[in-house]
């Protein structure tokens, strides 16, 4: 207990002992009102554990063999049983575990270790508080992903390893960049502008899974959950419904992912395992480009053009280009001279070489050593792992994670157990900029004309042969001899070689749990954890980078500290009233404190134009510093009661009473989160007993309320020192004028701010047929989230932009089906199949009259919340329409741009599913996982731009007019003429789509975005693994190893999709509510992985 108080004392503002003692008082008070006669029994007593992790098992039936006499293990796994003289054997049985017979002999104290029954996997559920419960007695739904499924997938990050393996869980990897974060979503979006990421609980303690800013430019953000070594995971429980998660109150609305790390196995000899993984990663899709026409406009070569509407390359005479050797020139890093081109003669096309300068095959290696074991009184698990990845981008794209974990349990006597779980990880990465930025990778690469060679990207510029060189000029297709300071768009070689975005994170996750058995029926658990990390991020832009901010050098450096402290004090009790009624009650108190600090700065316009990454390299007026503090706390007490009647009907109710620091001063101080679920095992009706078909059947009903805690500091309005940005231009920083400035923020706070409340109803069933060969789980749910807070847009003419307030309402409903089928099973040969399917519908019900809320995305196409539509619909420009809804066409037969934007697409799938098949023959194992995602829209922004630029394959088509055609500008193409473009009929006869169309409303910049919303459905071979395990007595004798496992895994080997250019999972705004935008996103990957594991 002392440790508990010590940890409390680390708060900056220590919680007074008085308050703590009141909390304690509460527990003892609450138990003193319920008095029981503890029954004293003798003869045989002991404990039942799971052999897997040595956790005590509650509710195990211990029967005297051959008699109808028995008991059930209590809260700490202990039992005691009266035996008569002739009884010698007892049987311990528990669903999900293999029953075990134990001969008693002379022993009076017995420890029983039950082996988990592999065929019954998933039948034990880890609840929100981390206790194992029998699934069949619960009315909630939870999906489970086993640790070996995660490690088998050989994903570099934990999150991606879950993809496709559980119903109701959507995992989206937005980029193939090393260390890229992933979007996790459980049961659809329940909130509007807050993060949709679920609460992550690691061994009972909530941890941070923050992601970066998900901006439209910059580097892809990471998910902090990936700091955890996937090989350390025992299991992951996904608590989908509100009732399952209710005990986490205002942090639980987006669902809970409960991760349990491995423990050693008790009483066994140490197990040593060494695993080595090599993966080869490749780009999985490329944007199709035209190579028929070169740089220029209107069909003529123009070396200053930003576009590829130039001459036909094959019509050049293919001699050397005629260059201006008397004019200015450029000597690149390879010593090659570049002059202004006077006449373009060369037919050379550089698309492939330009691409190959940037993209390679990536790879990673991962080595993990783990040692686990234990003695009589405890267990230990130790692992050390190192993952080292080089991305598919040739330079400055990498990820390395080194982690150490030590988990240990110790029993100190009968009544006291202590569990430590600790890990340290260091994650280092470098990432390449993406997206809507002149300094992003694909933007410069894909816009480069086919006839321009990007290989010389930096060098010396000479105005004439006699002038002295200007060094380190940036050469790009818009700056072919480096004559200008500003190269227009970054040469992609510059992007990957002269820009850095480094991040390094050191993270400690530390847990201590004390289990104290007070009486036979009562135990007290104290569980405290700290999640601490420090992250350092630096960005470097060499002078010469495109853009006024970076042009003369730019460097940022920042340190972030994040600390989550969480402590729970839990009292658990369990009573039997005869064999008909079982009651268990849990009471607890929780304190959760989160602190975040960021300090950093940036400099621009370097004094020394060298690679000095230090704040001293700029003048004071070009130096900015910046800091940000955040502190939030929630405190709660909770109650959970289970009652089992006739071993058939189980009612489980929870109540969490919570207060949060982020609630407005005028709102209620505390919020109550109730939930109740009911499980009815109808298969225990006499009607079904002994049925050869129906093995098990359960009906579930659940209701729960959970919340979303308001973000901090939104309950009052503030003053800021604004930096006004000029649309498409620069900015004015008010603190550089006069004596500086503070003005009211354009965003208002709300003193009435309160949590969002999600209410969910759920009904479902779990049925098993034919002796558990076929398992079906079905759930239907409906939920609404009320009081959704968001920045309610104000009419800007009011002088304010937004107020952060509770204003919205959103609903979700859906169905989930899980299926398991053991198709074939003999001793040596097994085939089984698992499948999941989910279907969700989401609708924004109320936005207080606001037509739409921008959630993120591009200025041309954004994700929005719009009343009556699913959250995150695409919003952009549309064609003008006639009153009857048909497209308005002008006199030339072309459509026009409508003056107002509207909804143009929906990135949500109609349904999603996964099918996995395992075929096992002796020690050989083959696993397939297909995943599908149907009916989702994707916005093809890259294509829209490339059409405008004349670079997309579709803009390189030549057509012979079969009749007179108008082009977009009203120009006439006479019959029989060949022109660059295609013929299209918008409804008023054929017209010619030519350069003028694509540079007008047929391309990105002034375009009608509606036409670029495409079908983003996909089906992918998410994973295929062939593994072989070398084992057996003879093998063991000769090698001293218990086994060597080999496996070959392919990930994302094939994707069936209509979307071309990138992995359809791609998303510009990554891990955010705005989904499905492709805009020069960095490419996705597929991988071939080889693994070898040595088990000693």
Partner 1 sequence: MKNILKYMLIILIVSCDTLIPEDLNINPNSPSEAPEDLVLTGSMVGTILFHEGATSRRAGIWSGYFRGTDRQHEGFDNYLVEASDFTAIWNDVFINSLRNAIVVEQKASLNDRSGVITGISKVIQAHGLGVAASLYGDIPFDQAGKIEFITPEFEDQDKVYEKVQELLTQAILELSLDVNKPSNGSDIFFNGDPQKWIKVANSLKARFYMHTKKYDEAYNYAKLGIESPSESMMAVHGEVQGNSNLFYQFFTGSRGSELTSENSKIVTIIDDNSQVYRGNTKTDETARYNFYFSGSGRPNYISGYFSRSNSFPLVSYSENTLTLAESGLRSKNFYTGLSHLNEFRGYMSGGGYLNNGYDTLSLKYNPYIQSDFENGGIENIDNISKEDALLREILEERYITFYGQIEGFNDVRRTRNESYGIELMPNSGDKLPERFLYPQSEIDANPNTPSPIPGFFEPTRINR
Q: Does 488 bind partner 1 (CB under 8 A)?
A: yes
- Quick one: 367 or 745, whose CB is closer to partner 1? 745
How many residues form the binding site for partner 1 (CB under 8 A)? 105
- Quick one: 851 or 962, whose CB is closer to partner 1? 851
Q: Does 566 bind partner 1 (CB under 8 A)?
A: no
Task: Report residue 143: phi and psi, to 5°.
Answer: -105, 150
Among 98, 845, 898, 988, binds partner 1 (CB under 8 A): 898
Tell me 887's DSSP state: B
- CA dihedral of 995, 998, 1002, 1003, whole degrees rounded to 10: -170
| Nearest distance, CB of residue 663 and partner 1, angstroms | 8
Among 38, 108, 746, 974, binds partner 1 (CB under 8 A): 746
Query: How far is residue 264's CA from residue 165's CA, in Å, rounded to a whole number?
Result: 26
Among 13, 1034, 1037, 1040, binds partner 1 (CB under 8 A): 13
Among 335, 690, 799, 885, binds partner 1 (CB under 8 A): 799
CB-CB contact of 183 with 172 (8 Å): yes
Q: Does 880 bind partner 1 (CB under 8 A)?
A: no
Binding to partner 1, residues 16-75 (CB under 8 A): 19, 22-23, 26, 29-30, 33
Q: Does 722 bind partner 1 (CB under 8 A)?
A: yes
Decide: helix, strand or coil at residue 869: coil
For 403, what's the count of Cα atoms within 13 Å in the CB-facing half-sphere?
28
- Quick one: 713 or 1035, whose CB is closer to partner 1? 713
CA nearest 195: which of 127, 259, 255, 128? 255
Part in contact with partner 1 (CB under 8 A); list of ranges 221-229, 795-803, 828-836, 1075-1083:
795-803
Residue 238 to residues 166, 768, 933, 994, Cα–Cα distance (Å): 8, 21, 20, 52
Site string for partner 1, 985-1004 (x = CB under 8 A): --------------xxx---
Among 28, 326, 646, 724, binds partner 1 (CB under 8 A): 724
- Quick one: 852 or 1067, whose CB is closer to partner 1? 852
| Nearest distance, CB of residue 642 and partner 1, angstroms | 17
Site string for partner 1, 588-617 (x = CB under 8 A): -x-x------------xx------------
- Quick one: 109 or 732, whose CB is closer to partner 1? 732
| Nearest distance, CB of residue 992 and partner 1, angstroms | 18
Site string for partner 1, 661-680 (x = CB under 8 A): xxx-x---xx----------
Q: Does 846 bind partner 1 (CB under 8 A)?
A: no
Buried-state track 568-592, b at ≥16 Cβ within 10 A, e below 16: bbbbbbbbbeeeeebebbbbbbbbb
Query: How far is residue 986's CA from residue 963's CA, in Å, rounded to a whole number?
Result: 16
Q: Does 759 bind partner 1 (CB under 8 A)?
A: no
Among 622, 934, 1019, 1095, binds partner 1 (CB under 8 A): 622
- Quick one: 16 or 107, whose CB is closer to partner 1? 16
Q: Does 635 bind partner 1 (CB under 8 A)?
A: yes
| Nearest distance, CB of residue 703 and partner 1, angstroms | 19
- Quick one: 549 or 920, whose CB is closer to partner 1? 549
| Nearest distance, CB of residue 373 and partner 1, angstroms | 40
| Nearest distance, CB of residue 280 and partner 1, angstroms | 36
| Nearest distance, CB of residue 596 and partner 1, angstroms | 11
Query: How far is residue 1031's CA from residue 1038's CA, in Å, rounded to a whole number?
Result: 11
Query: How far is residue 243's CA from residue 236's CA, in Å, rounded to a whole number?
Result: 18
Give Cα 555 distance to the centre of its chain: 29
Query: How far is residue 62's CA from residue 71's CA, in Å, rounded to a whole number?
Result: 5
| Nearest distance, CB of residue 748 and partner 1, angstroms | 7
- Quick one: 64 or 1001, whose CB is closer to partner 1? 1001
Q: Does 849 bind partner 1 (CB under 8 A)?
A: yes
Q: Does 1056 bind partner 1 (CB under 8 A)?
A: no
Binding to partner 1, residues 279-338 (CB under 8 A): 306
Binding to partner 1, residues 448-487 (CB under 8 A): 478, 485-486
- Quick one: 223 or 637, whose CB is closer to partner 1? 637
| Nearest distance, CB of residue 440 and partner 1, angstroms | 11
CB-CB contact of 476 with 489 (8 Å): yes
CA nearest 664: which of 602, 629, 628, 712? 712
| Nearest distance, CB of residue 731 and partner 1, angstroms | 6
| Nearest distance, CB of residue 718 and partner 1, angstroms | 4
Residue 268 to residues 273, 377, 823, Cα–Cα distance (Å): 14, 12, 34
CB-CB contact of 143 with 817 (8 Å): no
DSSP per-residue letters across 250-300? GG-TT-EEEEEE--PPTTS--EEEEEEEEEEEEE-----B--SB-SEETTE
Among 291, 438, 681, 783, binds partner 1 (CB under 8 A): 438
CA triple 409-410-411, angle to 5 deg: 130
CA nearest 1070: which of 1059, 1056, 1060, 1084? 1084
Among 73, 537, 573, 637, binds partner 1 (CB under 8 A): 637
Among 148, 315, 324, 629, binds partner 1 (CB under 8 A): 629
Query: How far is residue 6's CA from residue 653's CA, in Å, rounded to a whole number?
Result: 33
| Nearest distance, CB of residue 863 and partner 1, angstroms | 14
Buried-state track 804-839, b at ≥16 Cβ within 10 A, e below 16: bbbbbbbbbbbbbbbbbbbeeeeeeebebbbbbbbb
- Quick one: 371 or 485, whose CB is closer to partner 1? 485
Binding to partner 1, residues 532-561 (CB under 8 A): 546-549, 551
CA nearest 12: which of 669, 511, 563? 563
Among 40, 686, 727, 826, binds partner 1 (CB under 8 A): 727
Part in contact with partner 1 (CB under 8 A); list of ranges 89-97, 463-471, 631-639, 1015-1023:
631-639
| Nearest distance, CB of residue 629 and partner 1, angstroms | 4
Query: How far is residue 370's CA from residue 581's CA, in Å, rounded to a whole number?
Result: 44
Decide: helix, strand or coil at residue 120: helix
Q: Is 634 left (phi over 0), alpha (psi -120 to 50) or beta?
A: beta
Pairing of strands 802-825, 747-748: parallel
Q: Does 563 bind partner 1 (CB under 8 A)?
A: no
Binding to partner 1, residues 998-1037 (CB under 8 A): 999-1001, 1005-1006
Query: How far is residue 386's CA from residue 229's CA, in Å, rounded to a whole number?
Result: 9
- Quick one: 242 or 589, whose CB is closer to partner 1? 589
CA nearest 785: which of 755, 758, 753? 758
Q: Which residues contact 910 (CB under 8 A, 6 or more apart)?
A: 839, 934, 935, 936
Q: Does 633 bind partner 1 (CB under 8 A)?
A: yes
- Quick one: 697 or 863, whose CB is closer to partner 1? 863
Token match 């070959």: residue?
1048
| Nearest distance, CB of residue 670 and partner 1, angstroms | 5
Q: Does 733 bind partner 1 (CB under 8 A)?
A: yes
- Quick one: 201 or 748, whose CB is closer to partner 1? 748
- Quick one: 18 or 39, whose CB is closer to partner 1? 18
């Amino acid at each position: 207990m002392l440790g508990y108080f010590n940890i409390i004392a680390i708060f900056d503002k220590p919680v007074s002992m008085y308050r703590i003692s009141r909390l304690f008082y509460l527990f003892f008070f609450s138990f003193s009102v319920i008095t029981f006669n503890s029954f004293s029994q003798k003869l045989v007593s002991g404990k039942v554990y799971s052999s897997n992790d040595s956790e005590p098992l509650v509710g195990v039936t211990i029967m005297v063999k051959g008699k109808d006499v028995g008991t059930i293990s209590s809260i700490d796994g202990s039992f005691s049983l009266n035996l008569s003289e002739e009884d010698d054997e007892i049987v311990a049985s528990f669903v999900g575990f293999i029953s075990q017979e134990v001969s008693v002999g002379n022993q009076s104290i017995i420890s029983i270790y039950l082996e988990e029954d592999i065929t019954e996997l998933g039948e034990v559920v880890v609840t929100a508080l981390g206790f194992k419960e029998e699934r069949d007695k619960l009315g909630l739904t939870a999906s489970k992903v086993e640790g070996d499924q995660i490690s088998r997938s050989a994903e570099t990050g934990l999150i991606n390893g879950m993809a496709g393996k559980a119903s109701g869980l959507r995992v989206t990897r937005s980029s193939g960049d090393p260390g890229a974060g992933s979007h996790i979503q459980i049961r659809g979006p329940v909130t509007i502008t807050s993060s949709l990421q679920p609460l992550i609980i690691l061994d009972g303690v909530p941890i941070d899974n923050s992601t970066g800013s998900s901006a439209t430019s910059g580097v892809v953000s990471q998910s902090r959950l990936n700091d955890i070594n996937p090989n350390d995971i025992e299991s992951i429980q996904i608590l989908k419904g509100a009732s399952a998660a209710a005990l986490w109150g205002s942090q639980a609305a987006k669902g809970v992912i409960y991760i349990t790390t491995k423990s050693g196995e008790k009483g066994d000899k140490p197990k040593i395992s060494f695993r080595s993984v090599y993966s080869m990663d490749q780009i999985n899709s490329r944007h199709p480009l035209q190579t028929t026409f070169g740089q220029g406009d209107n069909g003529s070569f123009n070396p200053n053009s930003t576009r590829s509407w130039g001459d036909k390359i094959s019509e050049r005479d293919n001699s050397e280009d005629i260059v201006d050797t008397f004019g200015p020139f450029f000597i690149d890093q390879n010593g090659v001279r570049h002059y202004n081109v006077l006449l373009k003669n060369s037919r050379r096309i550089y698309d492939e070489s330009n691409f190959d300068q940037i993209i390679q095959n990536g790879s990673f290696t991962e080595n993990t050593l783990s040692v686990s074991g234990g003695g009589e009184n405890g267990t230990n698990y130790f692992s050390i792992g190192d993952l080292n990845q080089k991305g598919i981008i040739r330079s400055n794209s990498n990820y390395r994670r080194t982690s150490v974990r030590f988990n240990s349990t110790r029993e100190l006597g009968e009544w006291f157990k202590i569990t430590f779980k600790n890990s340290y990880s260091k994650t280092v990465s470098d990432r390449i900029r993406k997206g809507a930025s002149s300094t992003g990778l694909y933007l410069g690469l894909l816009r480069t004309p086919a006839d321009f060679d990007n290989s010389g990207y930096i060098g010396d510029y000479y105005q004439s042969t006699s002038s002295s060189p200007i060094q380190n000029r940036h050469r790009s297709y818009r700056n072919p001899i480096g004559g200008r300071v500003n190269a227009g768009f970054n040469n992609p070689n510059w992007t990957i070689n002269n820009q850095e975005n480094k991040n390094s994170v050191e993270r400690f996750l530390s847990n201590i749990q004390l289990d104290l058995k007070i009486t036979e029926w009562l135990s007290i658990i104290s569980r405290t954890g700290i999640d601490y990390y420090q992250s350092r991020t630096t960005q470097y832009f060499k002078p010469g980078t495109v853009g006024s901010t970076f042009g003369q050098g730019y460097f940022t450096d920042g340190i972030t500290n994040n600390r989550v402290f969480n402590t729970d004090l839990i009292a658990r009790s369990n009573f039997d009233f005869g064999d008909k009624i079982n009651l268990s009650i849990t009471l607890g108190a929780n304190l959760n404190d989160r602190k975040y600090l960021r300090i950093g700065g940036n400099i621009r316009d370097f004094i020394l134009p060298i690679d000095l990454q230090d704040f001293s390299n700029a003048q004071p007026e070009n130096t900015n510093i910046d800091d940000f503090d955040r502190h939030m706390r929630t405190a709660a007490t909770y109650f959970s009661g289970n009652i089992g009647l006739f071993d058939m009907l189980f009612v489980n109710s929870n109540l969490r009473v919570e207060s949060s620091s982020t609630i407005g001063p005028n709102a209620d101080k505390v919020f109550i989160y109730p939930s109740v679920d009911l499980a009815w095992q109808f298969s225990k009706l006499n009607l079904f007993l002994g049925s050869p078909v129906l093995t098990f059947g359960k009906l579930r009903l659940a209701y729960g309320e959970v919340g979303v805690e308001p973000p901090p500091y939104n309950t009052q309005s503030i003053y800021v020192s604004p930096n006004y940005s000029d649309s498409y231009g620069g900015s004015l920083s008010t603190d550089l004028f006069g004596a500086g400035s503070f003005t009211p923020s354009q965003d208002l706070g709300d003193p009435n701010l309160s949590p969002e409340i999600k209410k969910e109803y759920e009904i479902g069933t779990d049925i098993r047929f034919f002796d558990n060969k076929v398992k079906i789980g079905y759930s239907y749910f409906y939920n609404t989230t009320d009081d959704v807070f968001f920045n309610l847009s104000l009419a800007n003419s009011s002088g304010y932009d937004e107020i952060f307030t509770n204003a919205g309402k959103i609903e979700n409903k859906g169905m989930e089906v899980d299926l398991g089928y053991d198709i074939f099973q003999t001793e040596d040969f097994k085939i089984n199949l698992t499948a999941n399917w989910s279907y969700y519908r989401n609708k924004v019900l109320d936005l207080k009259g606001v037509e739409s809320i921008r959630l993120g995305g591009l200025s041309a196409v954004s994700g929005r919340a719009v009343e009556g539509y699913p959250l995150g619909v695409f919003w952009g420009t549309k064609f003008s329409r006639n009153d009857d809804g048909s497209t308005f066409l002008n006199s030339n037969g072309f459509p026009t741009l409508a003056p107002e934007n509207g909804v143009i697409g929906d990135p949500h799938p109609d349904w999603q599913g996964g099918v996995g098949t395992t075929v096992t023959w002796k020690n050989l194992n083959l696993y397939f996982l297909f995943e599908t995602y149907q009916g989702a829209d994707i916005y093809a922004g890259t294509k829209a731009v490339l059409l405008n630029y004349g670079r997309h394959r579709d803009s390189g088509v030549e057509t012979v007019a079969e009749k007179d055609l108008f082009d977009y500008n009203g120009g006439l193409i006479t019959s029989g003429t060949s022109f660059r473009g295609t013929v299209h009929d918008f409804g008023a006869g054929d017209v010619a789509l030519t350069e003028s169309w694509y540079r007008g409303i047929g391309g990105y910049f002034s375009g009608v975005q509606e036409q670029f919303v495409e079908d983003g459905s996909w089906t992918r071979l998410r994973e295929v693994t062939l593994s072989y395990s070398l084992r057996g007595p003879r093998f063991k004798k000769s090698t001293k190893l218990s086994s060597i496992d080999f496996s070959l895994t392919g990930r994302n080997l094939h994707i069936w999709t209509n979307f071309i250019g990138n992995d359809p999972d791609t998303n510009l705004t990554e891990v955010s509510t705005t989904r499905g935008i492709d805009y020069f996103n960095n490419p996705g990957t597929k991988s071939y992985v080889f693994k070898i594991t040595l088990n000693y």
